[in-house]
Amino acid sequence: MKYDSVKFLPGVAVLLMFGIGQAQAVGDSEQGQKKFYTCAGCHAITGYSNSYPSYHVPRIGGQHADYVVAALKAYQTAQRKHTSMQANATTLSQDDMEDIALYVSRFRNNNAALPVTGDVGKGAEKAGLCAGCHGEDGNSEDSTYPKLAGQYESYLIKALKEYKSGSRKNAIMAGFAAGLSDEDITDIAAYYASQKHGLNTVGKE
Ligand code: HEC
Ligand code: HEC
């Protein structure tokens, strides 16, 4: 129910305002869990990999709901390209996306650090210029900036290389990725992958 439709009932409106103030998220988590069924085969399995090229399917458990909706729309409109994700997003309605996003956003990380190949210490220094949007440790506060903490190193590397090459289009990230060498990318990815209280496999605590 929208606040507008009840503002003539002051008591209810006040209650709703408090409710809305506390939980800004839209969507229905229970519905989201049901609708997530088709996604579980990839996003609810720890360590699951995309085959060609080989990299881990991104963790979306604990990701900001707003970013999840934005990502699904980007696949739906083919602004972001990935054959199976485009196929999975194509039939989703706005409600479906919001329900699924709310459901997946509620998972938390159990603090187990992911294995990495890059230099975490160097990555921490190099990630300094990313903190303004993604948060000091990759746990961004702003829901338009994806959380990176606890994300798989291989996926972060792939994403940064795609921004750099322009195959994944985003004006802001193209600028930031342009100045990074392959070594920078691996170190930064290692740093975020090692951070705690971040992302997780959907369904895991
Ligand atoms: C066949 C495996 C597979 C299935 C099924 C699948 N995904 Fe994905 N998903 C992936 C892969 C691989 C990526 C990374 C693609 C890329 O690099 O853009 C991804 C990316 C995403 C992203 C973007 C993550 C980010 O950090 O930007 C979201 C959100 C997402 N999937 C949600 C879903 C939802 C919701 C469903 C079900 C409707 C689903 N996926 C079904 C494999 C899958
Ligand atoms: C001004 C804000 C801003 C800064 C600074 C910034 N980013 Fe981003 N970043 C974004 C936005 C917005 C997105 C989502 C873009 C999209 O939809 O593809 C993003 C996406 C990403 C992603 C993809 C995440 C995913 O789940 O697919 C990675 C990885 C990333 N940024 C890493 C970095 C790194 C590393 C730096 C520093 C070198 C950095 N960002 C600096 C705003 C920023």
Mind listing the pLDDT tens digit for each residue in 45-85? 988 998 888 999 999 999 999 999 999 999 999 999 999 99
CA of 132, closest atom in ligand 2:
5
> Which numbered ligand comes closest to the C-alpha of 76?
1
Quick one: pLDDT at residue 205? 79
Distance set, CA 64 to CA 15, 58, 70, 101, 116 (Å): 25, 13, 10, 8, 24
The model's pLDDT over 133-164, given as tens digits with 9 standing for 90+, comes to 999 999 999 999 999 999 999 999 999 999 99
**Cα angle vertex 56, ends 32, 119, to 5°?**
125
Alpha carbon of 37 to ligand 1 centroid (Å): 13
Are 59 and 199 in contact by the 8 Å Cβ rule? The answer is: yes
Which protein residue has the closest C-alpha to ligand 2 atom 27?
Answer: 159
55 pocket-lining for ligand 2 (C-beta < 6 Å): no
Ligand 2 neighbour 129 (Cβ under 6 A): yes
Query: Which of 105, 130, 164, 184 is the pocket-test mutation for ligand 2 (most atoms within 8 Å of CB)?
Result: 130
- Mean pLDDT for 116-126 is 98
- Residue-wise pLDDT for 21-56, tens only, equals 344 578 999 999 999 999 999 999 988 998 888 999
Nearest CA to ligand 2 atom 1: 133
The pLDDT score that the predictor gives to residue 65 is 98
131 touches ligand 2 (CB under 6 Å): no
- And the tokens for 63? 């990701």
pLDDT of 24 reads 58
Q: How many CA atoms lie within 13 A of 121 on its CB side?
A: 0
Is 103 in contact with 95 (CB distance < 8 Å)? no
71 lines ligand 1 (CB under 6 A): yes
**Pocket probe mutation, ligand 1, options 39, 145, 155, max atoms within 8 Å of Cβ:** 39
Q: State pLDDT tens for residues 165-191.
A: 999 999 999 999 999 999 999 999 999
